Structure 1
């Protein structure tokens, strides 16, 4: 389980996270919604240890992210897919996918490459294993990013606005992959503005507003008139998002 207890994070005088409490159990798909600047991406960066906590604690399967001695083990439990891919430009798709299993998990190269090719094939990239990132479309690069995270066989997949840099066609490609992962039981924490997709795949919806958690509800209840929609700020946000996508 990922456990987030009373987490606070500030940049200068700006509070980005303010007493956030959250649980993510194996098998759940939890989508984090909220306006830009609400703290969604910072929360993901705190979970994987890229941002240091100002207060509170985060643990992944019992390993403390805020303890330097336990951070590496905590990171092995989760994989992160970033908004802007962060692929190594001088490495092929296959090399990007196999680097961490070979270097961190000490998987034999031949075994890692076989697994990597299987992962790339599963997202429709079997013919692009030897292509470099510059030779791939944005949607293809993001699919390589997903494979790179899955190659570490994480228990939890953290996804930070993974479609925000993509056009609608490429977005559809990536969302299709994520829907299949969710259907297969992959545990995911998903920061997104894709409201309809979040509604489709999520077991729960979390809503952040100015660093505070306003709602943490089962998906059906979040979108119900007497649930999340009963909160004026959430209703306003969903209405605006609907208009923006029309």
Structure 2
């Protein structure tokens, strides 16, 4: 059974590679045709000649005279008609694939991207539902939902941030001092994990997490640590104006006489 799976995988890879080679060949012809219609009427001729010489490994200078002598004007005048079907395939492929240049290199990329988009969409929908739980203060249920989602989306920065946010909001509504501190420390841990998990491009997530940690640390009286977090948030820049302004205000309060 395992061997069958391996054979199937190899066949799929071979088929994908063949598709990619054929698409690249079609695109090459289509570009030659585009240039031909722009006035480069000998581009097919030289492409054919140079391909043969390149394959032989000889110096082109030794063959240029013979190459020109083989020129057949009548043949070159028919080139567009000869490649019409190939060019049509390439044009259709350009229209069919929004990220055409990526598809040429990796035909399976679109399928992976589509699947990833579906996963992200499902995640955002669940986060919206969890936000509603937080609004009605169902913190325990929200936390359980987020932990379950982490099984499907391990290391997802948005989930880790939401866990930090949930613990922080829960702490705000907690009257027991020890329990409140536990929840705030849990919030800090998740915010730190969110920063570590966020991609370098996700400046908004990193800014919001640093600013949130600054507020929690300031509440706990750990002012030096809080100041570092506010400064880290400010250093990212105003990619989220609310969080950025909160960080500025948090720093001002900690540094004022």
TM category, shorter:
under 0.3
| Higher share of residues assigned strand | 1
Per the normalisation by structure 1, the TM-score is 0.27
Q: Which structure is larger by alpha-carbon Rg, 1 or 2?
A: 2
Higher relative contact order (CA 8 A, sep 6+): 1
| Higher share of residues assigned helix | 2
